[in-house]
Amino acid sequence: MKTLLDENIDVRFKKLLANIEVYTAREKGWQKLKNGELRKKMEQEGFEALITADKNMPFQQNLTQLSFVIVLIDTPALTFEFQEFFLPKTQQFLSNPPNPLPKIVHVSMEGTTKGNRREQLQKLLPAGDLLCL
């Protein structure tokens, strides 16, 4: 699954994703792109997934026309020490994605998700477009 790590995901995350074709926003020269521009570039280059910690992204994009899945890591901090806790669930999804793909995969850990983000996402998307891990 051709995957892009958003600029808010530590580049060390890439090395831990075994058997996945992963690029970083920095490698692609896309680290300064706004979400709409990033989406166009990803679609042009055939990316299938975006791993991000940008909790606002699902609410800023028209998800109905999205051609890739947003893997939203719901981490309380943007440090690698926190992000690596989400690796097993992220790896599991990318290694064996369901068909059809959801629009959003919400990856969280009990006790770390702030507020009611899962409920907000459930209101935003039809049932088949949201996968919670």
3-state secondary structure of 27: helix
How far apart (Å, rounded) are the C-alpha atoms in residues 68 and 132?
16
> Is pLDDT above 80 for 111?
no
pLDDT: which is higher, 61 or 93: 93
Mean pLDDT of 75-81: 88
How far apart (Å, rounded) are the C-alpha atoms in residues 52 and 25?
11
How far apart (Å, rounded) are the C-alpha atoms in residues 75 and 18?
21
At residue 63's C-alpha, the angle toward residues 62 and 66, to 5°, is 110
* Count of domains forming the chain: 1
How far apart (Å, rounded) are the C-alpha atoms in residues 84 and 75?
10
pLDDT digits (tens, 9 = 90+) for 39-60: 899 999 999 999 999 988 888 7
pTM: 0.90
